[in-house]
Chains A and B, each alone.
Chain A
């Protein structure tokens, strides 16, 4: 019993890191420009399909195609910004919601049209296998994904806090007008935020493909979980998203363990409601 419990905690922790990585791009874009990307989970789906097809067509393992997938998603993020987000940056919130929702529907429709609703999975990857620590088994793909998520989140944080470009990005988030007077092109910074925000989802998708099914709706639950993580961590807070990702991962597995696996997602959603009602600014968010 105790072994199962520890096993549960470990798997919650591992998936939590990945949730944090998925959420980091969402919180970054929100923090910078006050736009919620409802299609966030569906970019994850796109990344997973790219990973899958790199494997199916060229035999490339998801781990090796990760840089390529990340780069493609980076480009997709920039493209999304210039094509769709720039025109609505000052539009009423209703328009903003509908545009990113439109992207969500479009990506799901496209995936359904191109690849049908089949579930696809890569049967054997270079990471397949387990390691055993006492009674606890840890899947190597999950472990790699968690490690990758920690590294990637660390890189994003380092970029934002320690590099000139990252600081310029934060300056625009802080005060667009003042940043403009300092000679920072806010337009380019927004594009960069979208590029990085979507690229992090690319990394997450590539890591996820090693141990998870790919199907057109795969982004739905991950996208919702990302909202919960962002709300819990505080909209716009990167360290908050990191802490919240782990909490959400643990809540998910614990409610699955204690109450029933079919209800684990429900408790994640209840967590969101509890957070926005009781502490709308989240754990580390600014009000």
Chain B
């Protein structure tokens, strides 16, 4: 454990120092995306990895966070930080509305229901004139400041904001893992009937895990909206984004604290690199590589890459 803590401190130190050493926009951008997806992956891992409820609709929370922020900023001039909070409230509300009926479903039924919910959200936002419909929303260009959550000259402030979000997500997951809630959730994954017979309110703990997942993902949505300053339905709520979150967790290790972190460090650079080196000619190549990776992992090593580092034993 002590070794793990030292490794974590070195890792975080390296992340803090990274943008000071690499001052070009590209490496900074890549690392911002890695941390963004790692944080969202941690969010997915809490419901999908620890609790075993495969959600293909988590992008909806990302979208809700992004849209809540954008709509409040554009229409009412409210600071994105408050938008972040409101996004979280809406995301939790959505998680409860969706989770209440859906968590009674099992396995495939649940997974397909989350796809349906995600697609419905996508369609609603694509046709909702107030939210910019298919065109999306352009953020107003405001003076650079922390309150405005906009920085135009350098990516550095964005980098440190997402670093804080990323570390906070790790912290939340760390506490979750060790809390009573975390044990309940793992029990629900391993043996729902057994958990129920021990008096665990399955529905309730699934909902709590889903809400935590929603909050983390929603905060990432707010960050994305302010980082890119332009959002539209397919960039924030696409099914493919939900799938990417699952891929990240599966690559790194389901239900492991550092699983999504490893997953994001493998996944995002590969996406960025194929885009840079293969250009539009190589469109789809990254998808083929990941899909083969997840098929091989799912068949031979369901514990993910993390298990290779920790000499994990097969289940």
Binding site for B on A (CB under 8 A): 30, 36, 84, 87-88, 91-95, 97-99, 101-106, 108-114, 116-117, 216, 220, 224, 227-228, 231, 260, 262-263, 265-266, 269-270, 272-273, 276-277, 280
Contacts and interface: CB of A to CB of B under 8 A. Distances in A.
B109 to A, nearest CB: 5
10 contacts: A98-B295, A98-B297, A102-B292, A105-B243, A105-B290, A106-B288, A113-B285, A260-B127, A262-B123, A269-B116
Q: Which 6 A/B pairs are nearest by Cβ-Cβ distance?
A: A109-B287, A112-B284, A113-B284, A106-B291, A102-B295, A105-B291
B9 interface: no
Nearest to B111: A97
B294 A101 contact: yes
Given A88-B299, A262-B127, A102 B291 contact: yes
Contacts of A114: 284
Interface of B: 52, 54, 101, 104-105, 107-109, 111-113, 115-117, 119-120, 123-124, 126-127, 239, 243, 246-247, 250, 254, 280, 282-288, 290-292, 294-295, 297-299, 302
A266 B119 CA distance: 8
Contacts of A93: 107-108
Nearest to A230: B112
A62 B54 CA distance: 38
A266 B111 CA distance: 17
Contacts of B290: 105
B234 to A, nearest CB: 11
Contacts of B283: 112-113, 116-117
A36 B108 contact: yes
A95 to B, nearest CB: 5
Contacts of A265: 119, 123
A78 B39 CA distance: 39
A186 B15 CA distance: 53
Most B C-beta atoms less than 10 A away, residue of A87, A110, A224, A273:
A273
A23 to B, nearest CB: 13
Contacts of A227: 112, 115
Given A99-B298, A101-B294, A270-B120, A108 B284 contact: yes
A30 B107 CA distance: 13
Given A106-B292, A110-B284, 9 more contacts: A87-B299, A91-B302, A92-B302, A99-B299, A106-B288, A111-B284, A113-B288, A227-B112, A263-B123
Most A C-beta atoms less than 10 A away, residue of B119, B247, B286, B299:
B299
